[in-house]
Structure 1
Amino acid sequence: MSKAEILALALAVTAVGCDKKDDAPKSAPAPTATVASSTGAAASAAPAASAAPTASGSARSYALEAGGKVAIDMDAPKEHIKASAGNVGGELKIDLGNLAATKGDVKVDLTTLKTSTFNDPGKDGKQTEHALTWLEVGAQATPEDREKNKFIVFSVKSVEGLAVTDLAKVAPTKDGADEVRTVSGKVKGEVTLHGKKAAREAEVQIAFRGPADKPSRVDIKTTKPLMIVLADHDVKPRDNFGKLAQGAFNLLGTKVANDAAIVLELSAKPK
């Protein structure tokens, strides 16, 4: 074989080798990184957290008036307990430009709780005593426990379901000389009772009296009660020394409902 033939053969072999390399399957792309979900399954990306309402910069502080009405209803098969409490306090930061971003605390003094189930002073007085004992704010509670458990607090985090969030865009009605702008929504937040916290919500109607940029009074009332589950807050039968009264546990769900519906009618004025 001549040198020219040998050179031609070598070039042909080289060309075939290159073609085989081109035909080889290409390596798969590197897998996309995944994030494990809370259940252990892989997810392409972590879900975005729901954004908190953005403050508009026009928030005003309003102090709740002590004379607000707090009605408590506990309907069990064998007994329908009715009660009330007073001495309301707290503060709301109402964002007039974005009502959804409103925050604050509503506080109710549980030592003022009184039942009116029987319309009988003697029976109602005894039932009130039992209720205060369960809450560890009664006369037999230690001063430390009474102070620690004195208030139920609803911490408002946001207001949802508002048709209009900018108060200036709410059409006013007239009540005498006052302009009144009324909105409805769902207040979402957290209840602290008996040292325990639980997420809660209540549907409300809020009426703003006076100019949209500087209301002189805010009236708030629930249109659907704030529901409190006793077990979430360790509210159980107790004796006068604060110990669990095992013999009275059969009352829960029969004479004492497992939850309480709280209806609020509150007013607040600028601080």
Structure 2
Amino acid sequence: MSVKTIRTRTLLLVVLAAAAPGATACQGEPQPLAPAATELKAPEAKAPAAAAFAIGRAGSKVELAMDAPREKIRGRIEGAAGGTLQVDPTDITRTTGLITVDLSTLELFQTAVGDDGKPGEEKKSDVQNEHARTWLEISKDTPDDVREKNAKAQFAIRSISTSGEKDLSKLSGAERTVTVTASGDLLLHQRQAPKTVELIATFRYEGDRPAGVTVKTAKPFSVGLAEHDVRPREAFGKLAQKTLEVLAPKVAKEAMVSLELTATAGAATPAPAAAAAPAGSAAR
């Protein structure tokens, strides 16, 4: 076989590979969808000595930031988290838990960036909030059963690691703080993906026993929109013509999420249930 023939066949293979289904994934197309799931189950406690900490809705706060060249979006969800943490005070690396957040009360604020590159005034836009609910499929036109599932975001903590002290009894004071890395699964828009989050946990002690804990993200963690099928939509079940890639100069393709939770030692509390109808722009 001549060198010319080899080169010709090689070129043909390259062209065919570029035209093959899925080949565009290497050209900046959306990442593959995460596996489908409707609900995460709470991981079992890893130690007999583990104590249940109930996450209180009142002390919960979730924030998100989406920064794009032409637009910056900030979001917040307050008083809408629940769940349980199973903590072994003698070895916090044996902690597990399930955090559930109701997205129905999501509230977005928008900052446009001018041609001079300077951000304008932050504003809350009813249209922007309606679009967000349509993308998440929790808008008013979404069937009730689908809306209820899509309004539930969950993070199942399956393992904990730390480079610091694992035994809280070896620390002192009424407040004892540890920094950990939590690994598990994130459920958003009925799509489940592995997620690792750095957390700072401050335990409040009464005597020699932990009575409560405040958990905060050490730094925001990223959530890819395309991975969880959160895409531009005109209505329920109808994708918009403009994709995330087309809108990229104006809309970020990932959200940076921060959270703060307060949990109290005691019996588990039920996870927050999604509202029968979304709050909508009037509630914001």
TM-score range, shorter chain: 0.7 to 0.9
Q: Could you tell me which residue of structure 2 aligns to residue 76 of structure 1?
A: 68
Q: Is the 8 A contact 2:55 2:81 kept in 1?
A: yes
Q: Could you tell me which residue of structure 2 aligns to residue 98 of structure 1?
A: 91
For residue 196 of structure 2, what is the amino acid of its counterpart? Answer: E
Gaps of 5+ in 1: 1-53, 173-178
Gaps of 5+ in 2: 1-44, 112-121, 268-284
Give TM-score scaled by structure 2 length: 0.70
Counterpart of 2:55 (choices 64, 70, 91) is 64
Q: Could you tell me which residue of structure 2 aligns to residue 185 of structure 1?
A: 180
For residue 151 of structure 1, what is the amino acid of its counterpart? Answer: K
Which of structures 1 and 2 has the larger relative contact order (alpha carbons within 8 angstroms, sep 6+)?
2
Let me know the Cα RMSD of the aligned residues.
1.8
Q: Is the 8 A contact 1:84 1:114 kept in 2?
A: yes
When Rg is computed on C-alpha atoms for both structures, the one with the higher figure is: 1
For residue 63 of structure 1, what is the amino acid of its counterpart? Answer: A
Q: Could you tell me which residue of structure 1 aligns to residue 229 of structure 2?
A: 234
Q: How many pairs were matched up?
A: 210
State how far apart, in whole Å, the 2-side matches of 1:169 and 1:57 are: 20
Give TM-score scaled by structure 1 length: 0.73
SS in 1 for 2:134: helix
Q: 1:55 to 1:248 in 2, by over 3 A?
A: closer
SS in 2 for 1:247: coil
Q: 1:146 to 1:140 in 2, by over 3 A?
A: same
Counterpart of 1:257 (choices 244, 252, 258) is 252
State how far apart, in whole Å, the 2-side matches of 1:237 and 1:91 are: 33
Q: Is the 8 A contact 1:228 1:262 kept in 2?
A: yes
Q: Could you tell me which residue of structure 2 aligns to residue 25 of structure 1?
A: none
For residue 106 of structure 2, what is the amino acid of its counterpart? Answer: L
For residue 137 of structure 1, what is the amino acid of its counterpart? Answer: I
State how far apart, in whole Å, the 1-side matches of 2:47 and 2:171 are: 16
State how far apart, in whole Å, the 2-side matches of 1:112 and 1:215 are: 31
State how far apart, in whole Å, the 2-side matches of 1:190 and 1:212 are: 34
State how far apart, in whole Å, the 2-side matches of 1:252 and 1:213 are: 55
State how far apart, in whole Å, the 2-side matches of 1:248 and 1:114 are: 23
